[in-house]
Homo-oligomer: A and B are copies of this chain.
Amino acid sequence: MIKVKLPADWELGFQKEKDLQPQEWHPASVPGAVQLDMMHTLEERDWTRGDGYRQFRWMEDVWWTYRTRFDKPSLSGSDRLYFHSKGIDYAFEISLNGKALLQQEGMFRRVDLDLTDHLEVKNDLRIQIAPVPKSHHERDDRTQANRAFKPAVSYGWDWHPRLVPLGIWDETSLEIRRDFLHDIRTRYSLDDSLENADLAITANVAAGVESVSVSVECKGDTVHKQEFRQGEGEFSGSIKLEKIRLWWPAGHGEPDLYELIVSAFDRNHKLMDEHRTTIGFRKVRLVRNTGTEREDPGFPKSRLLPPVTLEINNRRIFAQGTNWVNPEIFPGVIGEDRYRDLIVLAAGIGFNIFRVWGGGIVNKDFFHECCDRTGMMVWQEFPLACNDYPDDESYLSVLRPEARAIIERVGQHPSTVLWSGGNELYNSWSGMDDQSLALRWINSLCLELTPEIPFIPTSPLQGMGHGHYLFYDPSSDEDICQLMARMNNTALTEYGVPSPSDAEIIRKIIPLEEIFPPSPDSAAWIVHHAFKSWQDDTWLCPEVIEKYYGSSENLEEMVERGQKLQAAGYRFIYEAARQKWPYCSMAINWCYNEPWPTAANNSIVQHPALPKPACESIREACRPVMASASFPKYQWHPGEMLEFDLFMLNHSARDIPAGKMTIAVNGGDIKTWQFGEVQENTVLKGPRLMIRVPARVRDQGMTGMEIALKVLGHPEWDSVYKLPVKA
């Protein structure tokens, strides 16, 4: 498709009723959000400070109209003028010169409107957007989203303010198109050796074309080129590629990609149209976790646990990663830089998977392209979360085409390795179950369009675990080490440890007079999720910080301590899950990023893309090869007996030869472990050590002891743990 984009100036207005007209027009940013345009217009104060976000509330319930006016462009030959949008949020009607051309409910289907036959000399294109969909008006919370195919998070979550975007949220343009190739589809199949691929390419070819060429490039080299005599009609070509390079997830090989270029030529071999597709060859399966293949003895028999181990290119992968949430409240302003910054940061930590959580949006194309290139696997959820979505045909008639659009767009990326119907749908707070027609339809469409990608209806399923979300839970008197010691999940796909945000961030969002000490009654702290989010003291948990460190003198000290605790907690969790490989196949924390500056959160990256110290401790815990230990609890008393297990973790793709590990407590060697070869992708469990907690302990900021595991000749595999000791 050869396109020329026309410059377009957009304006925005609102009205109280559908059939009224806006009284004023304001400049609009496209893509963007109606709220942001109005804010700029009204010159409101910074809405992220204090409870400033509340000023948007009235904007939920009015009608919005975008308009752009343009002269008819000159169109030659087969040129057509299209209005194209990758996303308009949420229910809308598009009209040209007063004539309605399209009505749609759903923000994920793309709009491709051929305006050519409706053009006049002067044109007025309008997009009227309905108020925020709400299934009821009783409670301003996520349940209002339970009849809409729209991210539930924006209706309010324990780390997301109530702020529901509306408007044009992805690339949108008026464009002149000259298409000679339509409906291009490419499918590949791999032989059993995974060394050779068959590609089948189909397209509709327009009149005037005399030949079609298909070429395949990899790393800049053309590896295949073939020309077909082909006039108007159905084109169908097949190509064999030998000795292909596979797409591998990060840490297991290179994420090699191919470029497929389909070109159409006229009788003079002049290029008339060209279409490019990126392909990554990989085979994905979701297989049973090792150790779950046999029934418990005795009767009655139930079913085995569902499989939740990703196998890529016949290799089982420990999925170590994180839950991705919207990086902005208004997805219209998420740009390529933001996606790139966050994905590069995640790759640097050693992550190989994002669970794109079902409470948020399905990301823009660049997210998926970037994951393809970095080898980051994507577990893509559909936008259903923590609600009871109905079996009504009115809902299903929106869900089906929206889901189809998502599957066709996202499913073509090699990084997409798992579909999930949505978040926590089979739990009591949602109330759905396997009989849901919505989930059966999503399953059915995924099967029809991408049978090569596994599907699960929701997370968690039996055997998988969500939570806990605290370092220490006073109600059960259990800390994160204790929780991990009894954990026997097949996959940890959500678990969190909260921390305060950097003091610099907090100072920007909390008025000076409320900063310290943080009060559970401060509206600003509450609004920014420090208190009364999920539980009374989350996510700041000041008593937990005090439990381990004593009272803090100032904001900076409290933040540092809280972030240290988070860093320690996450490290224990990632290592504990890896220690239980291959029974446990995933460690995916709640959560990676955040949509706005919070005062405290489970996130490890602060808005917009600022890492917390936990990123570094998780990077330590995610080293492909490393020494590791498990501890039955976090805080100790002098004289107690501490028993802990040793491990050599090898999640790399190579075998590690036999070696020697020395274990030291507070600098004094207490034991060596001569370990044997550690085969690729395995965990070697070592001896259990027992020590008496020293009475005199070193001062390391916090009063505690230090346990160091040192691998002879491999300092890069060493691990040092600090555990607090309380007299």
**Nearest Cβ on chain B to A326's Cβ, whole angstroms:** 23
Would you call B437 and A447 a contact (CB within 8 A)? yes
* CB <8 Å contact, A434 and B306: yes
- State in angstroms the CA–CA spacing of A441 and B451 once bound together: 10
Contact string against B for A residues 279-311, beta-carbon threshold 8 Å, 1 for contact and 0 otherwise:
000000111100001110011111110110000
Report the minimum CB–CB distance from A316 to chain B (whole Å).
14
Q: Is the CB of A492 within 8 A of B300?
A: yes
Q: CA A304 – CA B426 in complex, angstroms?
A: 6
Q: Are A307 and B444 interface neighbours, CB within 8 A?
A: no
Please tell me how many copies of the chain the complex holds.
2
Given contacts A299-B483, A303-B458, contact A440 B434 (CB under 8 A): no
Task: Add 7 more A-B contacts to A301-B424, A302-B466, A303-B461 (CB < 8 A).
Answer: A302-B463, A303-B460, A304-B433, A435-B454, A440-B444, A440-B447, A443-B444
* Number of A positions contacting B (CB below 8 A): 52
A-B contact pairs, 27 of them (CB 8 A): A285-B435, A287-B435, A293-B428, A294-B428, A298-B476, A299-B467, A299-B469, A300-B466, A300-B467, A300-B495, A301-B467, A302-B463, A302-B464, A302-B466, A302-B489, A303-B426, A303-B427, A303-B464, A304-B426, A304-B428, A306-B434, A307-B435, A440-B444, A440-B447, A444-B444, A444-B448, A462-B462
Give the residues in chain B near A298, CB-CB below 8 Å: 476
Give chain B nearest CB distance to A317 CB in angstroms: 16
Contact of A301 among B301, B448, B460 (CB under 8 A): B460
Q: Is the CB of A456 closer than 8 A to any CB of chain B?
A: yes
The distance from the CB of A359 to the nearest CB of chain B, in whole angstroms, is: 16
Residues of B within 8 A of A426 (CB): 303-304
Interface centre among A298, A307, A426 (most CB of B within 10 A): A298
Is B307 within 8 A of A434, CB to CB?
yes
Chain B residue with Cβ nearest A293: B428
User: Given A288-B433, A306-B434, A427–B295 Cβ distance below 8 Å?
Assistant: yes
Chain B residue nearest to A458 (CB atoms) is B303
The residue on B at minimum CB distance from A441 is B447
A465 sits at the interface (CB 8 A): yes
- For residue A619, CB closer than 8 A to chain B, the reply is no
Q: Does A468 contact B (CB under 8 A)?
A: yes
The smallest C-beta distance from A604 to any residue of chain B, in angstroms, reads: 19
CA distance A441 to B440 in the complex (A): 11
Is A258 at the interface (CB under 8 A from chain B)? no
Bitwise interface map of A from 523 to 557 toward B, beta carbon under 8 Å scored 1, else 0: 00000000000000000000000000000000000
Q: Given that A285-B435, A306-B433, A435-B285 are contacting pairs, would A489 and B447 also be in contact in the complex, using a CB cutoff of 8 Å?
A: no
B302→A462 contact, CB < 8 A: yes
**A574 proximity list for chain B (CB < 8 A):** none
A570 at interface, CB cutoff 8 A: no
Is there a chain B Cβ closer than 8 Å to A487's Cβ?
yes
Closest chain B CB from A435 CB (angstroms): 5
In angstroms, how far is the closest chain B Cβ from the Cβ of A562? 20
Q: Do B427 and A440 touch (CB < 8 A)?
A: no
Chain B proximity of A328: nearest CB distance (Å):
29
Q: Chain B nearest CB: distance from A642 CB in Å? A: 24
